[in-house]
Structure 1
């Protein structure tokens, strides 16, 4: 079983902001020329474009906030571990001080040094012992003071880190709420756009292509994937109740509104809005091959137009005989169905691995 290839969505989402499509219906039916979309229906396209951009920005901020919060939590844990070690060392020092005190008591109790000297068999030994005790007390006192300062400093740092972490958590919650709100609006707008596509398919009348500027691409090869971010779903040749014989293309599971790209340079020979494929585009490439992009929500190109590798030609959807949002991508040796070849192998022969 071929494992699906996943691509980071954060790269694709900002690109989607410029690739959302919609247009007014034309007077003609079926295939034919397309007038640039204007009027009320293009409002759905503009709303989806704006929400894609806002969702992308909110996602970037949210992910940055999560990374910052994670670093802050790591710092808090580090400080807690350091503080625990310092406290353990303090306990050891206190135990040492206790042993010294007990030793002094057993060796003479509260007798003054003069009494020890009078009663001792070796006064010099008593003096050396007292000097050692004095040095030990001095060293221990210094260590305890240093430890107390370190513990106070660590406690302050810990409190500071905890406060910063809580502030980040609050900010992240706000960002998550904002992100969720935008995504909810985006989902509503996506289905509004899909509703327009379904109406076009039902009427057999294509809406006009909307001309949207796309950023300059920097593709190094002559062939690119038809969508930027995806999960491979139904593959070429697979069986199932949805197809009369075998699946004739490769499906890419993507949300409604995802920009669809021409995999290579060529000429748009078909734009259709009816039938099992819903809204579809067929592009002719050099060498006698054709690529099909089906179940779209909208298109950005006209029939007869020349396209370059990676150029946006449509927006994914779930029009026609489709069980959910995805792009049906097919490679053929003729413009019509019934002449499909394996699209994954075909692209692999051209240096592109899906």
Structure 2
């Protein structure tokens, strides 16, 4: 059995947040065109979009606060190293002064300078010694003064850094709590969306297309993966109790509400709700291939609509015969099941190794 391969979930919560959109039921049933959603669900959509923006902003502020804290901590350590060096230099100077003082005492340094000059055989030598001692004392005094200024400066900087660090920690804690609160609201919204999907599947009637406010994207390639970030789960051809024979697609484990993208340019030939696949979309591409996106929580396109590579066509969910949130992705040579080919190889041939 092939182990699941992973891709990093970089922006799972904010991305899912943007995608938790829903729409009112359409008047028609089956696989026909759907009217864009509006009504009470539009308010939920606006709330989710706002929560997404708040979560993204909180995340950016949180990360910037962490970076500022790291820079501040680095500066404090630099100052501490500087102080340690200056303290060692001052201690060395004090040792030198002690040696000079002891030497002077043993040679009669306790006598007044005049007595030294009278008793000495070489008064000039005494004067040179005194000048040397004076210079040494002056050097030490200067070093001690410089060290005192450095200690005062460091103490001030440490106090500032400590205050800044505590402020950053407080802000980061507040941002973490804010982000957690947003995520809890998003989780609730996602399951509300799934609840609406389950109602549609049970009724066999799709809701109207929930038009997602997708940001401008400039895909330079003709083909993209059906979801941006994911964990691969059940693979094509694998066996299991959920399938009559073998698994006919590739599953992408993603949270409910994750935007699902058309892998390439094409035309939506089927939007259906009900049955084992739950809510599904089928897109026809050039070359006689069709891609299916199943177990959705909502659709964002209408049957007959033209789509471009990377365009959001729905939100992932766990509708139909599904044991957990994921996207079931198939590649077929006809619009209907039973004509599937290996989607992993098909994507790899188009420059998209999973």
Q: Same fold by TM-score, threshold 0.5 exceeded?
A: yes
Task: Look up the match of 2:331.
Answer: 331
Task: Look up the match of 2:14.
Answer: 13
| Counterpart Cα distance in 2 of 1:231 and 1:99 | 72
Any conservation in 1 of the 2:20–2:189 contact (CA below 8 Å)? no
| Counterpart Cα distance in 1 of 2:213 and 2:142 | 72
| Counterpart Cα distance in 1 of 2:246 and 2:81 | 61
State the shift of 1:298 in Å: 0.2
State the shift of 1:14 in Å: 6.1
Map 1:53-202 to 2 at 5 A: 53-202=53-202
Map 1:207-286 to 2 at 5 A: 207-286=207-286
State the shift of 1:161 in Å: 1.5
Q: Secondary structure at the match of 2:149?
A: helix
Q: Secondary structure at the match of 1:108?
A: coil
Choose 25-34 or 265-274, whichever is displaced more.
25-34
State the shift of 1:49 in Å: 2.4
The CA deviation string for residues 236-288 of structure 1, in whole angstroms up to 9 with x for no partner, is: 23334433433322222222111111011111111111122211111111111
Any conservation in 2 of the 1:29–1:206 contact (CA below 8 Å)? yes
State the shift of 1:103 in Å: 2.1
| Counterpart Cα distance in 1 of 2:42 and 2:127 | 100
| Counterpart Cα distance in 2 of 1:277 and 1:43 | 28
Q: Secondary structure at the match of 2:107?
A: helix
Task: Look up the match of 2:288.
Answer: 288
| Counterpart Cα distance in 2 of 1:5 and 1:187 | 22
| Counterpart Cα distance in 1 of 2:91 and 2:323 | 68
In structure 2, the CA distance between the partners of 1:104 and 1:248, relative to structure 1 (3 Å rule), is farther
Choose 233-242 or 160-169, whichever is displaced more.
233-242
The CA deviation string for residues 61-97 of structure 1, in whole angstroms up to 9 with x for no partner, is: 2122222222222222222222222222222222222
| Counterpart Cα distance in 2 of 1:338 and 1:105 | 107
Matched, 1:34 2:34: yes
In structure 2, the CA distance between the partners of 1:92 and 1:272, relative to structure 1 (3 Å rule), is same
| Counterpart Cα distance in 2 of 1:71 and 1:247 | 52
Choose 88-97 or 307-316, whichever is displaced more.
88-97
Structure 2 portions without partners, runs of 5+? none
Supply the RMSD in Å over aligned alpha carbons: 2.1
What is the aligned length?
352
Matched, 1:44 2:39: no
| Counterpart Cα distance in 2 of 1:62 and 1:16 | 18
Structure 1 portions without partners, runs of 5+? none
In structure 2, the CA distance between the partners of 1:244 and 1:115, relative to structure 1 (3 Å rule), is farther
